[in-house]
Every structure is written in structure tokens, then in C-alpha cells.
Amino acid sequence: MSKPRILVARAVFPEVITRLEQHFEVESNPTDEAWSKPQLIARLKGKQGAFTTGGDRIDAEVLVACPDLKICANMAVGYNNFDLDAMTTAGVLATNAPDVLTETTADFGFALLMATARRITESEHFLRAGKWSQWSYDMFAGSDIHGATLGILGMGRIGQGIAKRGAHGFGMKVIYHNRSRLDAALEADCKASYVSKEELLRSADHLVLVLPYSAESHHTIGAAELAMMKPTATLVNIARGGIVDDAALAAALKDRRIAAAGLDVFEGEPKVHPDLLSVPNVVLTPHIASATLPTRMAMADLAASNLIAFFEGKRPPTPLNPSLLATK
């Protein structure tokens, strides 16, 4: 009996390819080329499965062109590259890679918060440019983290991890807003208080965005929301590009209507809004919040496990549209 055919759409750990080859006929992408949609379709035709990353768009056009496709396993917790409704209609299972990156991403979110509040990138650029000639009392004076008010928009596992780091490690007052309130035990564990979105924006000294991207969350933070924030506040986005209106944020940073921002994700990435590149009071990183070798390996292994389980007739660990499994 022939093995199922799968496509690994981007370069991944060789050990993971070796593992997949024990179960599948694998077409991989060792040069890590970012394919256009027509190129992706050409390679997906005749494949029963796909190992994807957040940049590989699976939508109705792709699904119509690739009728043999049965499952797409995303090596990411986010899945806004999937048209989940279209995949469900087409009978294509979608899976993601949650949980394994929670603590690593929370670590990075807090690191980005600290770099933003303490103006680390801005001061490093100053030093590297040879501009440091003497000490002054207000040179790159930023804002305190300890004892400050930490606001979190989106209180899933990563948001909870950031809350615990702030409350337990830095004595911060933690407030949050979420679609649904946490139960009392979780709130107590995070030392976090639920507030309205408006109160969150007005009260936070440091606001961290950790909500999933959807049509409803597009531009959750725009000009109106930025105007509610303190002029001394910082904004950190480790969620998804599109949650923040990058043009509006760049304007607010330029006019010092907020103090600073730290961004790991962007609208239209890998392109970055040019106005964000011209303001000094922003820390920019290229979508690396989960980028430690152990975590990325765990993400890849989970995506592989989803594919293997599916074709062995078992329940994949992390399905996104599990109603399809009930019909099998």
C-alpha cells in the first residue's frame, strides 16, 4: 500500500522531515522559498496532507484546486492563514500547535515590554552611532516596570503567563480585558482584575496585546484607542499583525501621544509600515516570540504528530474543526 503524499511548505528541522518520511511520501522545501499562491497550488495538487506555517494561506481557491487534500497541520498556534469555514465545508481538517509555545512566548512578551519601557533599542542605536559623549540625568530615562500597572488585552494561556511574570516577579498591578472573564481561581493565580476595554486603555502603564486575530479583532487598537492611552504608556504587540493599525500607531509614536511601542508582528509582514521604521521610540523584532530551538522543535513535532495521527485513523492532538472527525 502506497504512503499518503504530503507537502511540507517551508523548511523545517531535518529530524522532523526524517520522522515524516517514515509515514509519508514527502515533498519538502529545503531552500525555504516563500511560494506564491499559484506555486503553492502547483505543489499541493495530488497531496493528501500539508505541513504549513503561518504564511501559507489555505483558502477556498486553494481547496478547489487541490481536491485530494484532507488535512493541513499548522506549525503555529495562530491560524489566520486558514479559511477555517472553507476548510470545514471542503472536509479538510485543520490543526494548530498550541500550548507548547506558551511559556517561551510569554518570556519574549515580557522581554519586549522591558526593552520598550527602558528604551533599550533606542539607546543602543545611540551608542553604536558614536553619539555617547557624557552622562546626563535624563539620558534615555524610561518608565518603571516594577509597581506599574500592567494591562493585558487577551487573557489566554500566554496572557496569563505574562500576568504571572508581572504580578509575581515585578509586583505589578495586573488588569485585563478578554471576551470572557477568567474564573476566580485563575484570576487569583494571575493576581489579575477584570476591567472594561476602555478602563484597560486608560489605566495601563504598559499594555500587552495577546488576543487572536480575526475579522472582529482587526484594528482593535486604532487611532481612537491610542488616544485613550496615557501619554506615558507603552504598547506591546506579540499577537498578530492587523490587530493594531500600524499607520495610526506610527503617527501616535511620532507625536509622542504614547511613549513607546514594542512590536513583534505587523500588518502585511514581512513588510513593515515605513513610518514605523522612521520613529525612534519603537522596538521592532521579526515575529520571533516563539523562537527558541526547543520550542520551535516542539511546534514542528506537534504538527507532525497531527498528520501522523490523522492518517493512522487516530484523533489528531489539536484539531481546529473537530466536527469533521465526528463524521468519520
- Active site residues per annotation: 240, 269, 287
CA distance 176 to 144: 19
Report whether 152 contacts 175 (CB < 8 A): yes
CA distance 181 to 195: 9
Phi first, then psi: what are they for 8, rounded to 5°? -100, 110
β-pair type (25-27, 49-52): unpaired
Task: Round the CA-based radius of gyration of the chain to a whole number and report it.
Answer: 22
Residues recorded for the chain: 328
| Angle, vertex CA 13, rays to CA 7 and CA 15, nearest 5 | 95
Q: Which DSSP state fits 320? A: S
Which pairs with CB-CB distance under 8 Å and at least 24 residues apart come from 266-272?
A: 266/241, 267/241, 267/242, 268/241, 269/241, 272/246
CA distance 274 to 232: 24
| Angle, vertex CA 121, rays to CA 197 and CA 265, nearest 5 | 45
